[in-house]
A and B are shown apart, each in its own frame.
Chain A
C-alpha cells in the first residue's frame, strides 16, 4: 500500500489521468500535482499521482555516480 511506482500519463479526463501499469489501464487522481500533461512520468501512490519525476535530476545523479573515482 505504501509503495509508489513511476507511471506514464497516457490521457487525462478531468481530475483523473489514465496510466498504464504492466499493460493494464488504471485511473489515477491528479489533484495533487500542478499542470499534469500526457507523457509526464509521475509517482503513483494509493491511487494518486504525488509528484512528477524529474528527468534532469535522474540523469544528473547517474552522471555523478559514473564520474565517481573508484579506489580500486
Chain B
C-alpha cells in the first residue's frame, strides 16, 4: 500500500527522535483522540522512543468505546423483535450491553449480520423486502457520510424497510469536554481521518479559546513522531495553532462532498458518551425530512433498563484521567477474550492496544 514503507523509514525515524529529545525542554502531556492513533502509538512503541518528560494520553477516540451502553441495549431489543435484521460493523458484536450482547442474541437465534458498509446493509434491505433492516450507524465524522449516502440511496430507490439507529458522534465537542472537565493536557494529536472529512477548521476554537496546540496526524511512525515534534515546538514557542502534518490525506477544507451530504441528512443533538456523560451537540441524528429511515422514530421497542458498569474504569480512561494499567481488572478480570468493558473489546480501544502491545511500552 502506498507510502507504508516510506513512512516507516528507520533512519528518518531516528532523526525525528533525536530532534524530539533535543527540543523537549519541560514536561509535556499530549492526548491522541483517535483509536487508530492509540493503536499505532502502542504498536510502534512510540512512548518508549520519547523522553520520559513527554507523556501521551488516550482520549475518547474509539467510536465503539464511547458508544453508550443504552445504545447496545436498544440494538439488542431490536434484535429480539421478529421480522428484524440487525446489520452491524463487526466491532459491536461483543460489546457488553446490560445483560447481553449482539453476539449472544445471534447465538440465541436473532438475525444479526455483520456488514462492512452502510451500503451493504441497504443491499440486504433491497434483497429482503419482507424484513426490516436496522443498520447500527456508529462512528465519527469519518463514518457518518457513508450512512448518509445509504439513506440518500434508500430514498432515491424508495426503499421502505431500511432504517438506521444512529450513534454517530462528533469529535470537537468531546475534545472540548475533556478540557472543560479539567484534564491537563498541553496539546492534541488530532484525528487524521476525521479531519479528512471535516478539514482543519473544526479545531480552530480549541487552539484559540483553549490555547491548545493541535496537529492533525497520520498513522505511521514518521507521522506520529513529526506530529509530536511539532507539538513540542508549539508549546516551547507558547503559541497554539492548528497544523496539518497528514497533508497527503487532509485538505484544509476537508471533503466538501462528504460534508454536504452529512449536512443534508443529519442534524446535531446532545448525546450521552460512555463514561463521559452528556455532551451538548455531539451526535448526529436524521433530520426531519429523513425520519422515515430513523429506527427509533419508526419502530417502537421496549428496552430493558441500563445497568451501569461495575469495576470497569473505561470512562476515566476515555477522559484521559487514568490509563488502562490503573484498572484492577486489566489483564486479569478483563482481557480481549473475556472483556469487561468496551475499551478492551474494540480493536481500537485503549485497553486492547495496551494489552496487545504493552511489552513494547513503558508507561510512566
Q: How far is the CA of A23 from the CA of B320 in the complex (A)?
A: 39
Category for how many chain A residues contact B = 35 or more
Are B248 and A57 interface neighbours, CB within 8 A? yes
Are A1 and B64 interface neighbours, CB within 8 A? yes
Chain A residue with the shortest CB-CB distance to B247:
A57
Q: How far is the CA of A4 from the CA of B348 in the complex (A)?
A: 12
Report if A38 contacts B (CB, 8 A).
Answer: no
Stretch in B99-107, B136-144, B274-282 touching the partner: B136-144
Count CB-based A-B contacts (< 8 Å): 139
Are B249 and A5 interface neighbours, CB within 8 A? no
Q: How far is the CB of A8 from chain B (nearest CB, A)?
A: 8
Are A53 and B249 interface neighbours, CB within 8 A? yes
Are B255 and A47 interface neighbours, CB within 8 A? no
Instruction: Digitize A1-17: 1 where CB-to-B-CB distance is under 8 Å, 0 elsewhere.
Output: 11111111000000000
Are B258 and A32 interface neighbours, CB within 8 A? yes
Report if B145 contacts A (CB, 8 A).
Answer: yes
- B contact residues around A4 at 8 Å (CB): 36, 142, 192-193, 196
Q: Choose from A2, A34, A54, A65 the contact partner of B249 (Cβ within 8 Å).
A: A54
Report if B116 contacts A (CB, 8 A).
Answer: yes
Q: How far is the CA of A45 from the CA of B142 in the complex (A)?
A: 7
Q: Choose from A2, A6, A29 the contact partner of B117 (Cβ within 8 Å).
A: A29
Q: How far is the CA of A68 from the CA of B11 in the complex (A)?
A: 12
Chain B residue with the shortest CB-CB distance to A51:
B196
Stretch in B1-9, B180-188, B293-301, B308-316 touching the partner: B1-9
Main secondary structure of the interface of B (DSSP, over half): helix
Central interface residue in B2, B7, B39, B139, by most chain A CB within 10 Å: B2
Category for how many chain B residues contact A = 35 or more
Q: How far is the CA of A20 from the CA of B235 in the complex (A)?
A: 42
Are A3 and B348 interface neighbours, CB within 8 A? yes
Stretch in B16-24, B44-52, B283-291 touching the partner: B16-24
Q: How far is the CA of A55 from the CA of B118 in the complex (A)?
A: 29
Q: Choose from A33, A50, A54, A68 the contact partner of B247 (Cβ within 8 Å).
A: A54
Are A2 and B261 interface neighbours, CB within 8 A? no
Beyond A2-B63, A71-B22, A72-B18, is A45–B248 a contact (Cβ under 8 Å)?
no
- A contact residues around B64 at 8 Å (CB): 1-2
Within 8 A of A (CB), among B114-162: 116-120, 138-140, 142-143, 145-146, 149
Report if B328 contacts A (CB, 8 A).
Answer: no
Report if B355 contacts A (CB, 8 A).
Answer: no
Are A65 and B15 interface neighbours, CB within 8 A? yes
Q: How far is the CA of A72 from the CA of B248 in the complex (A)?
A: 29
Are B3 and A46 interface neighbours, CB within 8 A? no
Q: How far is the CA of A51 from the CA of B246 in the complex (A)?
A: 12
Are A2 and B19 interface neighbours, CB within 8 A? no
Q: How far is the CB of A23 from chain B (nearest CB, A)?
A: 12
Are A1 and B63 interface neighbours, CB within 8 A? yes
Q: Choose from A7, A55, A70 the contact partner of B15 (Cβ within 8 Å).
A: A70
Q: How far is the CB of A46 from chain B (nearest CB, A)?
A: 5
27 chain-A/chain-B pairs, Cβ below 8 angstroms? A1-B64, A1-B90, A1-B143, A2-B139, A2-B193, A3-B36, A4-B142, A6-B3, A32-B149, A32-B258, A43-B196, A46-B89, A46-B142, A46-B143, A47-B119, A50-B142, A50-B255, A51-B251, A53-B249, A55-B2, A58-B2, A58-B248, A61-B247, A62-B9, A62-B222, A68-B16, A70-B15
The 3 A-B residue pairs with the shortest CB-CB distance, nearest first, are A47-B117, A58-B248, A71-B22
Q: Beyond the given A47-B120, A65-B15, A70-B18, please list 7 additional residue pairs across the A-B interface where CB-CB is below 8 A.
A: A1-B89, A1-B348, A32-B258, A45-B142, A46-B142, A68-B16, A71-B19
Binding site for A on B (CB under 8 A): 1-4, 6-7, 9, 12, 15-16, 18-19, 22, 34-36, 39, 62-64, 89-91, 116-120, 138-140, 142-143, 145-146, 149, 192-193, 196-197, 222, 226, 245, 247-251, 255, 257-258, 261, 347-348
